[in-house]
Structure 1
Amino acid sequence: MRKIRTLLIDDEPLAIRGLKIRLESYDDIEIIDTCSNGRDAVKKIKDLKPDLVFLDIQMPGFDGFAVVRSLVGEAEIPLVIFVTAYDEYALDAFQAHALDYLLKPVEDERLATAIERVRESLSQRIAIEQNARLVELIEGMDDAPAEALTAILEKPTETSESRFDPHLRIKDRGHITIVNVSDVDYIDAAGDYMCIHVGDKTHILRETMKIMIKRLDPKTFQRIHRSTIINLDKVLEVRPHSNGECFLTLSCGKELKVSRSYKEVVGRFL
């Protein structure tokens, strides 16, 4: 199992400790070091070359965004997950090309989603590096059969998207309804059942939220509440509320509230 070399950066010792404890349950996460300020963070990132950085935004003198800006031009830039107590930085975080954005206190489910994104992103990076080495090897082969090698290189490879279900099969009293995932407006949980909303129809599927979210492509489907998943392609309007909450209007006419823990999803529409 490939270890994900991870650096934790936060000026609050308790925050570092809490994140360490949560990350202990992930066998592939290896914490290689920690630091408490931005300037040390830049040096350690350049020296240690971690795969992943959990980065606080508000730090005295040299904040998290400054850390990321200082890495521009480096040959190897780690994946960055911002961790902060302030949700107003979500848009800036995505503009800084952060892989994810976690609010303190970090919820276990959100951390699990972030780690899964890290794994997917790193696997894609590794595939690109392996293909590059293959090309270098082929170019050094004087007697390589050109047609055969071209066929190998141009053969479609399995992408991360192929792991996700294009259809949902819903059984009801002996009948099976096949629902195209792309047609789903949103999904909400009712205990161990998922309510699949498609236009003016609602299908009931016996499934847990934890399993359902793994079946859906995160590029299209995101949680906006502990019990609600939306199809990002169905969002027509984003409406902030005076109390800091936010509401999304879908093409089906449904209006859904974005909970504070998932507010970073809104940054994708701004």
Structure 2
Amino acid sequence: MSDSLSTIIVDDEPLARKGLAIRLAEHNDINVVAQCSNGREAIEAIKQYQPDLMFLDIQMPGLNGFEVIDEVINQELALPSVVFVTAFDQYAIKAFEVHAIDYLLKPADDVRLAQAMDKIREHNQSKADTEHKNRLVQLVSDVTGSEQSKILEELASNQDVSISQYSDVLPIKDGGELSRVPVNSIWWIDAAGDYMCVHTEEGTHILRKTMKQLEELLDPRIFIRSHRSTIVNKNYIQKFCSQLNGEYYLVMTSGKELKVSRSYKDKVKQAVNN
């Protein structure tokens, strides 16, 4: 039943719980994992099972249905989709204010329960589609460096997703983690053997790429080669200096001094002046 919705029933009336469970058993995509007689039991069942769906009575001793939802939120638990089942119709407006999928009056007949099931399936499919879309957008963002908000805007307006020639972020793998370093936060990058050291205000990241690969990723209007082993973000250059011996160096806003090789001197000077 891997495609089924794990479900709990919360009602202080035993016959009501049993009756609803029997009728839900006729739906192959519903898997009732727990029946709870009060709000406290419901909280514990949510902790244990992390259900997808909850049929929730409103008037119960102890915690009522709305208080159950408040407690789930306060404890930062995963709130399942909610269908209220109650003998009283005066709570209908409040039920939808807490984003319940549906509101069933006892005793709900088979037709009304079937309508609720249709709403549940539609809601679950929409939620799954949204989660799938978000995962794809994250993947595209990681690969292309484009911001997720920009990708979503392009999808919403039926535009082709644009892949920028130059990345807004630099994905850096460190063990099992993937860090997304904003390109505009990079001060400079220098080579250390087979690795690149990416220097930012937050610290230094280690990246396994070549200088050539990095130059293809980074906008040359912003990132300039100052040495065969160094690329500098010109936005963080404080000044360009020369020494009496004819050597040149850059002073970064962080105070760091970086050597400028003669072969890159003219391009660096031009970039700093622009």
Bigger Cα Rg: 2
| 5+ residue gaps, structure 2 | 159-274
Work out which of the residue numbers 47, 56, 81 in structure 2 matches 1:79: 81
Q: Distance in 2 between matches of 1:143 and 1:97?
A: 35
Residue 66 of structure 1 deviates from its aligned partner by 0.6
Percent identity of equivalent pairs: 45
1:88 aligned to 2:90?
yes
* 1:186-201 map, 5 Å: none
Partner of 2:15: 14
Letter in 1 for 2:17: I
1:47 corresponds to: 48
**Highest relative contact order (Cα 8 Å, sep 6+), 1 or 2?**
1
Letter in 2 for 1:27: N
TM score, norm. by length of structure 2: 0.51
* Count of residue pairs brought into register by the alignment: 154
Structure 1 match to 2:103: 101
The structure-2 alpha-carbon separation of the partners of 1:128 and 1:75, relative to structure 1 and needing over 3 Å to count, comes to farther
Distance in 2 separating the partners of 1:18 and 1:12 = 10
Question: For residues 117-266 of structure 1, what are the structure 2 equivalents within 5 Å?
Answer: 117-141=119-143, 153-154=155-156, 156=158
When residues 86 and 39 of structure 1 are mapped into structure 2, their CA distance, relative to the original with a 3 A threshold, is same
Alpha-carbon deviations, 1:119-158, whole Å to 9, x = none? 11111111111111112222232599xxxx88984575xx
Question: Matched residues in 1 for 2:12 and 2:114: separation?
Answer: 23
Aligned amino acid, residue 127 of structure 2: R
Name 2:29's counterpart in structure 1.
28
Equivalents in 2 of 1:57, 1:89: separation in Å?
Answer: 8
1:156-193 superposed Cα distances (whole Å, 9 cap, x missing partner): 5xxxxxxxxxxxxxxxxxxxxxxxxxxxxxxxxxxxxx
Deviation of the 1:91 alpha carbon: 2.1
Aligned residue for 1:66, secondary structure, equals helix
Amino acid at match of 1:2: D
Matched, 1:114 2:110: no
Q: How far has the Cα of 1:89 moved from its partner?
A: 2.0
Q: Structure 1, residues 228-249: CA drift from partner, whole Å, max 9, x if none?
A: xxxxxxxxxxxxxxxxxxxxxx
Rounded to whole Å, the distance in 2 between the matches of 1:41 and 1:58 is: 14
Q: TM-score, normalised by structure 1?
A: 0.52
SS of 1:106's partner is coil
For the residues of structure 2 that align with 1:151 and 1:50, how far apart are their CA atoms?
Answer: 33
Q: Tell me how large the CA RMSD over aligned residues is.
A: 2.7
Q: Which runs of 5+ in 1 are unaligned?
A: 157-270
The C-alpha deviation readout for 1:66-124, integer Å capped at 9, x for no partner, is 10111225363211111111222222222232111111112111111111111111111
Which residue does the alignment assign to 1:63? 64
